[in-house]
Structure 1
Amino acid sequence: MTIHSLSTKRVSRSAESHVAAQDWRGIVSDLNAHGCAVMPGLLSAEECADLASLYPHEEHFRSHVVMARHGFGKGEYRYFKYPLPDLIDGLRTALYPRLATVANDWNEKMGVAQRYPPDHAAFLKRCHDEGQTKPTPLLLQYGPGDFNCLHQDLYGALAFPLQVAILLSEPGEDFTGGEFVLTEQRPRMQSRAEVVPLKRGDAVIFAVHNRPVQGTKGYYRVNLRHGVSRLRSGRRHTVGIIFHDAK
């Protein structure tokens, strides 16, 4: 076992306590109102450094994507392979039940038949039954001039409607620029953009594809995309926690 695996395993034991300590009433309120919510201080500086240090070590990952080769922007990312690092796996497991409640409420409001089971293992079984067996949590790395185009992380027929990004680097110290950006397209209206300020260790929960919005005649669905603005200087690492697996 590498030193990186040991370090990640050591901090993973507190994943559930990290998640439970958040203000979930406020988080759900922000998700319903804005399509995104911040979890401040989800990870410590030490935990962030441990995760970012995994990036050069290929044994933790199943694939490496250079964004410019695919028209995704500039920068790069690696998808973790199974078994996931304990901290990533623990956060994925602990976050899912709380977000499944929101996801089921959203689908009911939007008239979508899909419902999500209360625990992540049961949801992953559904993914695997659909042939979606590849893990989707990823570690992203940006340098000066890098950015991520607006996009949606769907990966297959079965997709969970919320995901989480955790900033592992400190704005103003490790990098400048590189803000998380979310856009929302409402019917017959121009797109609305929201820049989400984050500090190292903060996480943002956001809608992957659609969310419900209350209108005068009931709820309607809006379409969302997310990305990262151009990095001005330094280096930025982020962990993305996606709850569905890919084909």
Structure 2
Amino acid sequence: MANARKAVGAAAGIAVHVAGLDWQAIADELNAHGYAIVPGMLTADECIATAAQYQQASLFRSRVVMSQHGFGSGEYQYFRYPLPSMISALRQSLYGPLAGIANRWHELMDMEARFPPDHADFLARCHAAGQQRPTPLMLQYGPGDYNCLHQDLYGDHVFPLQAAILLSQPGKDFEGGEFVLTEQRPRMQSRVEVVPLKRGDMVIFPVNHRPAQGARGVYRVAMRHGVSRLRSGSRRTLGLIFHDAT
């Protein structure tokens, strides 16, 4: 994969790789478990290069120190437009197949919104409603840092799925810092899922709700995500959100 990316360029290689994924298997995992792991979405070199962008202030529109807002401990930065080419390619190429899954979910959950197949058309909808700030972000954690359970909503227009790519190597760059999902079903206690990721792996997961099959039909399950306490080292993650922010 790395040689193929170098031959055609990282951004073009990303689009080819995404098109070749087993999207039926990804949809099945999302439906069954509320998340899907895509191993090796980025190569080791791409992870290192992307993580290094955190130090390039000109790439970002804002920086958030989580402890100042009660979000946890650590920090993150939102990219500004125009996005770096590889991040733009990830966002655009992932959106199309995810839109098909999102539309099926909304139909099952009896939710009105539907999503066009092209990301530019969906962003035009966001921008017309005043959601014009880009939402892809990079998160940085050090020893003792964590991210409280949350949802990345940002406005009235919400795309129901998002993705995160781990840029650091567990067991070498850091210890702890596991990606965590919680699922709240009606009249039940929350269920927790710890998602095992290696460097370059991508996890796709719900922003807010997902459909679940019950004895009386389909119902909505509320999802939240976060990161457990980092015991040592440094961890960086790329977050891909497909709606823009107010």
Class of the TM-score when normalised by the shorter of the 2 chains: over 0.9
**CA–CA distance in 2 between the matches of 1:21 and 1:117?**
21
TM-score, with normalisation over the residues of structure 2?
A: 0.96
- Would the aligned equivalents of 1:18 and 1:43 in 2 still touch at CA under 8 Å? no
1:203 corresponds to? 202
Distance in 2, Cα, partners of 1:40 & 1:245: 26
Q: Which residue number in structure 1 is paired with residue 235 of structure 2?
A: 236
Gaps of 5+ in 1: 1-6
Q: Distance in 2 between matches of 1:45 and 1:18?
A: 15
Tell me if 1:112 matches 2:111.
yes
* Distance (Å, rounded) in 2 between the aligned partners of 1:65 and 1:238: 15
Misfit runs of 4+, over 4 Å: none
Secondary structure in 2 matching 1:189? coil
Q: What secondary structure, in the 3-state scheme, does the structure 2 residue paired with 1:172 have?
A: coil
**In the alignment, what sits opposite 1:4?**
none
Q: CA separation in 2, counterparts of 1:145 and 1:152? A: 22
Aligned residue type for 2:150: H
Which position in structure 1 is the counterpart of 2:38?
39
User: Which residue of the partner structure matches residue 3 of structure 1?
Assistant: none
> What is the DSSP-based 3-state SS (H/G/I as helix, E as strand, rest coil) of the residue aligned with 1:13?
helix
Alignment root-mean-square deviation, CA? 1.2
In 2, the alpha carbon distance for the partners of 1:149 and 1:21 equals 34
Give the aligned partner of residue 166 of structure 2. Answer: 167
2:182 is matched with which residue? Answer: 183
Q: Distance in 2 between matches of 1:116 and 1:152?
A: 20
Q: Which amino acid counterpart does residue 19 of structure 2 have in structure 1?
A: A
TM-score if structure 1 supplies the norm length? 0.95
**Aligned to 2:236, what secondary structure does the other structure show?**
strand
Paired with 2:239 and 2:32, the residues of 1 have a C-alpha distance of 22
- Shift of the alpha carbon at 1:127? 0.1
Identify the residue that residue 73 of structure 1 maps to in structure 2: 72
Match of 1:129 in 2: 128
2:104 & 2:168 partners in 1: Cα distance? 33
Q: Which amino acid aligns with 2:131?
A: Q
Name the structure 1 match of 2:3: none
Q: Which 5+ residue runs of structure 2 have no aligned equivalent?
A: 1-5
Q: SS of the counterpart of 1:97?
A: helix
Residues 108-129 of structure 1: per-residue CA shift (max 9 Å, x gap): 0011011000110000000001
What is the DSSP-based 3-state SS (H/G/I as helix, E as strand, rest coil) of the residue aligned with 2:163? strand
**What percentage of residue pairs aligned between the two structures are identical?**
63
